[in-house]
Structure 1
Amino acid sequence: MNSSDMVQRLKRIDRLSILGDEILADLARVIIPERHPPGTVICRQGEVESKFYAIEWGEVLIKIETKEQEMSVGRLAEGDVFGEQALTVDRPRSATIIAETIVDLLSLSRSDYQRLSRKHPQLKRIMGGPDIPPLLKGVPLFSKLSDDELADLAERMGTLVFPPAKKVVEQGDRGTAMYVVSEGELVAYRKNEMGQNRPVKALNQGDAFGETSLLVSEPRDATVIAKTYVELCYINRASFERFKDEHPGIEDKLQARPEVERKLQVESFPGQQPDEIVEIKENKHWIAFARAVGKPAFMLMLAAMILGAMNFIGGGLASEAMSQDWFSTALTILWIIWVLASAGVFIWHWIDWHNDFHIITTKRLIHIENELLRSTSRDEIPIRQVQNVDIERNLLGQILGYGHMRVTTAAGGDGTLNIEFVRHPQEFKDAIFKQVSRAKYREVAAERSELERVIRGAIGVTVLDKKIEEQAPPAPMEALGWSALLTQNWLVKQLHKILRGLFDFLRHPHLPRQEIVKDDRIIWRKHRILLLKVAFRPLVLCLLILSLILGAMAGGAGWINWSGLSPSLFGKALLALSLIAILALGWLLWEVEDWRNDQYIITKTHIIDIERVTPILLKETSRQASLDDIQNTNFSIEGFWNRVFKLGDVTIETAGEGTFTFTQVRAPNKVQEEIDKRREAYENKLRQEEAERRRTEMARWFGVYYGTSDDIETRIKRARRLYPTDWLKG
């Protein structure tokens, strides 16, 4: 290909289009075209390279790996570039770039860039980006950083160029990067309740957006679109985390916005999912503590008044009836008891109040109620199922800033959550619906992405569908020795399985299983404490009869001399005791089997409650409900000993089958977490199946339209327009 053709190809790259023809001609001589099929890893996060890439055709997927997880954070398409930092510094790649379609790239090496930048200083500005430290100094988040820290942070940042009308970020997408505007103008849009985009903010040189996404990885609140040609400097979460690790104490210098700082200080809670972000976690309003401590405080004040009266008038009585010293000692002891009681009551109720939480996350609305040493309960509702939130405030609540809330789901009265003493209830309500909107936006964005994938596949554009995995080459076949043949023999494997099961039984022969995992289902039984409770009497009876049988056997054999009793009497007694022992043992087995037959089951699609009244008559009551009918779940642990033994109930409210109660199970919080996890997985599966059905149908129509509207000549013209001309050769 001649130089003039390459110059025209370079002009299609946004970053390079503003360069002069002389610079482009020199670049055309050193640019190397590269082609990559779908699935190719072009560069990997953490590796050090020295190449810059421009995308001439196709799309690539951007993935980053943080401390928490690996995630896809965006795509680059025709006209975009990546790897600018590799032209100037030896720094590990901040992301992994994977070819999602057939990709044609134009690559530039560091040595060629350095040679050309000495000849053309303008190239250094365009390729190397702006002077970033002064820009960062004007960003409030980084305003307290030193010059050296700003310079180090700037080296970790990249630059992007967007033409007018190009979308930079989209509302609802989970963001992991922060942007600073170097040149140009942008507009931020936000969808209203009608689904219409409304401008909310103009962004100019020096402005920044994406602070919350960088620090908390929250979904984007707005869609940002370029108004003119813009140049942006960006830092992603992975690079920023490494920057913080290399600069201990840097977090104290960051000047995050108050709402972001509050989110950073929110602590995690038991049962929080890895991809779940906590928006709000707060205790009840302080008035709840005041109400709880009010009654005992009144009683303590009454006691203090009585002690004060005794102290005032008791001196005269003590001089007549008793020693003044004895009376003073007794009064002092009573005052000490009063002080300790007051402190104990205050501390008890403060801990009890401090352990109650209202939590809003990106997935759930949760209410945790802990009564110190007595009970624990947790109610939760999936955030996407929230339909309405009612606020109730009396005069005192309006003055002090608290209220009670009633959250309703699609199930109406069966799916409600009552939350009392909420601080700033209107703000809490707004936060709930903010997460509801974000959940809907995430579903829409995912649906749109998948629809695009299916349609592009239907019209003949290859798209990467599966996760890229590196597979080791198959090991060479080797001859098996006698030891390998023995270990791979089917009979030997079965014998090993039996012996292992026997060994496990001998290790725990006395512990009936409370939780059984079979393939895709989990079976829970009631706590062993319940088994001990129902089996205690027949077990004691069996032991008593066994001791009598042993005594009768010893007497009949003459080992024990029972004076006045004939040997024949021992035989009759042994026969009678044996019959009674059979009945007692049957009673014991009855109770054990009755306990075993009450099962709570969860599968990938249903929850099932099975109760068999008697093991012999096999009278069975069975109820089941689909996981997608679940509207609300909660668990409760009542009483001190139940807390010690982790024994409680799990209540599941469904839309069609009413309320299910898993009674007296072990670790009810774990049971609730498993139910919620499977419910979410099943709902996602149903949504994906329905969406895939709609997408496939739509893609079929697009495919028919595409096939009937274009003849062979039209397709060739399109191919020549989309693909580089040398792709059509051969």
Structure 2
Amino acid sequence: MGDETSAVDLFGQMSLFNGLDTDQLAQIAEHTPTLVLSRNEIVYEQGSESDTFYIILSGHVQLIRAFHQAERSLGVLEDSDYFGQEALEPAQLRQTSAKAATDIVVLVFAADYIKELIERYPVLKKRFKIITDSFRFFLQLDFPWLGPRESIYYIGRRHIAYLIPRLILPGLMILLLLPLWISLYVSLHMLIFFYLILATALIGAAWVTWVAFDWSNDYSIITNRRVLFQEKIILIYDSRQEVPLDAVLADDVTTSQIGRWFDFGDLIIRTYTGAITLPGISMPSEVKVLLDNRRQRANIRAQRNKRQTIRSTIRQHLGIDEEMPTESSSEEAIKPTIHTGTLPNALSNLFMLRTEVNGVITYRTHWFILLSKVALPSLLLFLTLTLLIARLVNAVTFLSIPSTVLLCLLLFLIFGLWELYQYVDWSNDRYIITDRELIDVYKRPLGVEQKRTAPLENILSIDYERPNLIHLILNFGTVYIRIGEASLTFNNVFNPADVQREIFERFLSKKLQKQQQSDADDQRRLAEWLEIYHQEVTGPVAGEENPDDEEEENE
């Protein structure tokens, strides 16, 4: 009965069962068996039949996927998380393996029972579809920015209604021009119409393919830590906007009349500094419920941790031995692996675009910016050297050799100093990440140095963009950090996605340290209150004078 009651409470906290009353949740819990496993036991293996869907009642579950004879961890799930999504689709084999990372209790939903629930509560149909679609995207895509304890709960792209209008123009070109060229070629037998047929077919097919790929490359994502929108335009543009969950103030859904007919629209997430939009997603109202639930669960988890701290403090003060929960190995922080060896990374190391000393990370602007700065003085130095050689071999004779040598030495000095100035100007621009703050250093050679700083804990959102083909090929762009009403920009840094990830990880680490410090202060104050309460109840300790008695004696 205890598990059933706990299951009802758990269901009430999940977005999946949002809107169902307590009696309905109790009825679902009554028909849902539990499975208890010890740490390292296997829940199911990849490739096995999928006929059950699971919700974690307590403990942690690790998802693993075998790929090319190697295993890769897909993350660790915790209480109220779900897994086994393959059972939501017919005739699907397990795409992952699930293993108990700790002792676990999971609720087991048979596939037939899920169908029965959907028939009984139609609202669940949309929510299970969101779960299924997100899981399918999760297996198809790569997320190098995902943190070690970060879990994805929603992945979606724009509704197909956004794709169809963009296919009209290339479709009309193919449907109208192709028959015209074919009929002219058949009737006139002119070779030019044959080439027009080939050109129209190739251009039309390429256009349709480009539009389809462009539509499929944009994703809206919700994790247990942040909300983000990733946008890519093939060979042109790449950006990712994101905001931490605790910086979200409100979220709204906007739809057009067509959107209401076909159930799609924009989910607008508002923060202190503005908003980011998850555009054109299917079932936006249900995604809003999911996002609100993730925010509520983050608050519930924080309150639960605070209560646990208070309970531990009281038990320690009362002399009750308590085994403190230890972090499992699955929850240990995993440092990201940086792969080197490619030409862009080799050039990055050569120009020291990223250095780390004692935990302080320093970025410089990309080497392409340096090349663009020194291109003109380098060209002029080369032309000066060419002039000197040409005069020495008598290719040009409008000046005497001593005069040419003197002129070239003067030009070498001017252009060399110009090139040195540009290099120093490039090397003086630095972007620094410490454990406490972000620093933007801008210094002109022989000029004024400007330094802007911002505390990590004040970050509201982090975005990046690579605005054109050069930026995409060489993998550099600008990272935008919004802090209160101001903002910092890390301009033209190498691998902006990785810079964004490192800033976000430092932000989370600082936030965790601040929370731990706050909990420690609360614990210390609580211990003082308990000590005073204990003294008031039991009386003053022998040898100590009552403050009130001391005041009376002084009087």
Answer whether TM exceeds 0.5 for this pair.
Answer: yes
Alignment of 1:72-471 (within 5 A): 190=13, 200-201=25-26, 207-209=32-34, 211-213=54-56, 218-221=77-80, 238-239=99-100, 258=128, 264-265=135-136, 266-267=138-139, 268-304=142-178, 306-307=180-181, 310=184, 315=187, 318=188, 326-327=189-190, 329-409=191-271, 411=272, 414-463=273-322
Task: Pick closer, same or farther for the CA change 1:660–1:516 going to 2, 3 Å.
Answer: same
Cα deviation, residue 261, structure 1:
5.2
Q: Work out the CA distance in 2 between the residues paired with 1:582 and 1:297.
A: 61
Task: Pick closer, same or farther for the CA change 1:583–1:190 going to 2, 3 Å.
Answer: closer
Q: Work out the CA distance in 1 between the residues paired with 2:295 and 2:349.
A: 49
- Any idea what SS the aligned residue of 1:376 has? strand
Q: Work out the CA distance in 1 between the residues paired with 2:182 and 2:223.
A: 52
Partner of 2:107: none
- Any idea what SS the aligned residue of 2:149 has? coil
Task: Pick closer, same or farther for the CA change 1:166–1:694 going to 2, 3 Å.
Answer: farther
The answer to whether the Cα contact below 8 Å between 1:631 and 1:653 also exists between their aligned partners in 2 is yes
Task: Pick closer, same or farther for the CA change 1:209–1:189 going to 2, 3 Å.
Answer: farther
Q: Work out the CA distance in 1 between the residues paired with 2:232 and 2:200.
A: 27
Q: Work out the CA distance in 2 between the residues paired with 1:563 and 1:392.
A: 73
Partner of 1:640: 469
Q: Work out the CA distance in 2 between the residues paired with 1:630 and 1:563.
A: 63
Q: Work out the CA distance in 2 between the residues paired with 1:690 and 1:664.
A: 37
- Any idea what SS the aligned residue of 2:312 has? helix
The answer to whether the Cα contact below 8 Å between 1:375 and 1:640 also exists between their aligned partners in 2 is yes
CA offsets 1:153-186 (integer angstroms, 9 cap, x no match) = xxxxxxxxx8x799868968xxxxxxxxxxxxxx
1:520 aligned residue (359, 369, 378): 359
The answer to whether residue 375 in structure 2 is matched with residue 536 in structure 1 is yes
Q: Work out the CA distance in 2 between the residues paired with 1:659 and 1:510.
A: 28
Cα deviation, residue 339, structure 1:
2.5
Task: Pick closer, same or farther for the CA change 1:590–1:463 going to 2, 3 Å.
Answer: farther
Q: Work out the CA distance in 1 between the residues paired with 2:304 and 2:8.
A: 9
- Any idea what SS the aligned residue of 2:165 has? helix
CA offsets 1:36-90 (integer angstroms, 9 cap, x no match) = xxxxxxxxxxxxxxxxxxxxxxxxxxxxxxxxxxxxxxxxxxxxxxxxxxxxxxx
- Any idea what SS the aligned residue of 1:212 has? strand
- Any idea what SS the aligned residue of 2:146 has? coil
Cα deviation, residue 385, structure 1:
2.2
Task: Pick closer, same or farther for the CA change 1:548–1:342 going to 2, 3 Å.
Answer: closer
The one-letter amino acid paired with 2:244 is: P
Task: Pick closer, same or farther for the CA change 1:256–1:341 going to 2, 3 Å.
Answer: farther
| TM-score, normalization by structure 1 | 0.55
- Any idea what SS the aligned residue of 1:201 has? helix
Q: Work out the CA distance in 1 between the residues paired with 2:513 and 2:355.
A: 25
Cα deviation, residue 512, structure 1:
2.7
Q: Work out the CA distance in 2 between the residues paired with 1:637 and 1:693.
A: 44
The answer to whether the Cα contact below 8 Å between 1:170 and 1:220 also exists between their aligned partners in 2 is no
CA offsets 1:278-318 (integer angstroms, 9 cap, x no match) = 1111221001111322333344444346447747xx84xx4
- Any idea what SS the aligned residue of 2:473 has? helix
Task: Pick closer, same or farther for the CA change 1:510–1:416 going to 2, 3 Å.
Answer: closer
Partner of 2:446: 616
Q: Work out the CA distance in 2 between the residues paired with 1:342 and 1:509.
A: 39
CA offsets 1:113-172 (integer angstroms, 9 cap, x no match) = xxxxxxxxxxxxxxxxxxxxxxxxxxxxxxxxxxxxxxxxxxxxxxxxx8x799868968
Aligned sequence identity (%):
20
| TM-score, normalization by structure 2 | 0.70
Q: Work out the CA distance in 2 between the residues paired with 1:241 and 1:694.
A: 29
The answer to whether residue 496 in structure 2 is matched with residue 668 in structure 1 is yes
Alignment of 1:10-89 (within 5 A): none
CA offsets 1:423-479 (integer angstroms, 9 cap, x no match) = 11101111111111111112112222222222323333455569699xxxxxxxxxx
Cα deviation, residue 262, structure 1:
5.2
Q: Work out the CA distance in 1 between the residues paired with 2:536 and 2:477.
A: 64
Cα deviation, residue 585, structure 1:
1.4
Q: Work out the CA distance in 2 between the residues paired with 1:450 and 1:598.
A: 45
- Any idea what SS the aligned residue of 2:249 has? strand
Task: Pick closer, same or farther for the CA change 1:166–1:445 going to 2, 3 Å.
Answer: farther
The answer to whether the Cα contact below 8 Å between 1:459 and 1:706 also exists between their aligned partners in 2 is no
How many pairs were matched up? 446
Task: Pick closer, same or farther for the CA change 1:515–1:457 going to 2, 3 Å.
Answer: same
Cα deviation, residue 338, structure 1:
2.4
The one-letter amino acid paired with 2:453 is: Q
CA offsets 1:225-275 (integer angstroms, 9 cap, x no match) = xxxxxxxxxxx9645999xxxxxxxxxx98795566556543352311121
- Any idea what SS the aligned residue of 2:26 has? strand
Cα deviation, residue 673, structure 1:
0.5
Partner of 2:334: none
Which fold has the larger relative contact order, with Cα–Cα distance below 8 Å and residues 6 or more apart in sequence? 2
Q: Work out the CA distance in 1 between the residues paired with 2:405 and 2:306.
A: 77
Task: Pick closer, same or farther for the CA change 1:631–1:205 going to 2, 3 Å.
Answer: closer
CA RMSD of aligned residues (A): 3.9
CA offsets 1:604-624 (integer angstroms, 9 cap, x no match) = 111121211x2112x122222
Task: Pick closer, same or farther for the CA change 1:542–1:189 going to 2, 3 Å.
Answer: closer
Task: Pick closer, same or farther for the CA change 1:605–1:170 going to 2, 3 Å.
Answer: farther
- Structure of larger gyration radius: 1
CA offsets 1:398-446 (integer angstroms, 9 cap, x no match) = 111111221102x1xx231022111111011111111111111121122
Q: Work out the CA distance in 1 between the residues paired with 2:456 and 2:427.
A: 24
The answer to whether the Cα contact below 8 Å between 2:182 and 2:194 also exists between their aligned partners in 1 is no
- Any idea what SS the aligned residue of 1:633 has? strand
Q: Work out the CA distance in 2 between the residues paired with 1:190 and 1:240.
A: 23
Task: Pick closer, same or farther for the CA change 1:305–1:671 going to 2, 3 Å.
Answer: same
Structure 1 runs not aligned, ≥5 long? 1-161, 173-187, 223-235, 243-252, 319-325, 470-506, 714-730
Task: Pick closer, same or farther for the CA change 1:517–1:695 going to 2, 3 Å.
Answer: same
The one-letter amino acid paired with 1:631 is: L
Partner of 1:107: none
The answer to whether the Cα contact below 8 Å between 1:459 and 1:703 also exists between their aligned partners in 2 is no
2:515 aligned residue (687, 697, 702): 687
Partner of 2:92: none
Q: Work out the CA distance in 2 between the residues paired with 1:602 and 1:299.
A: 52
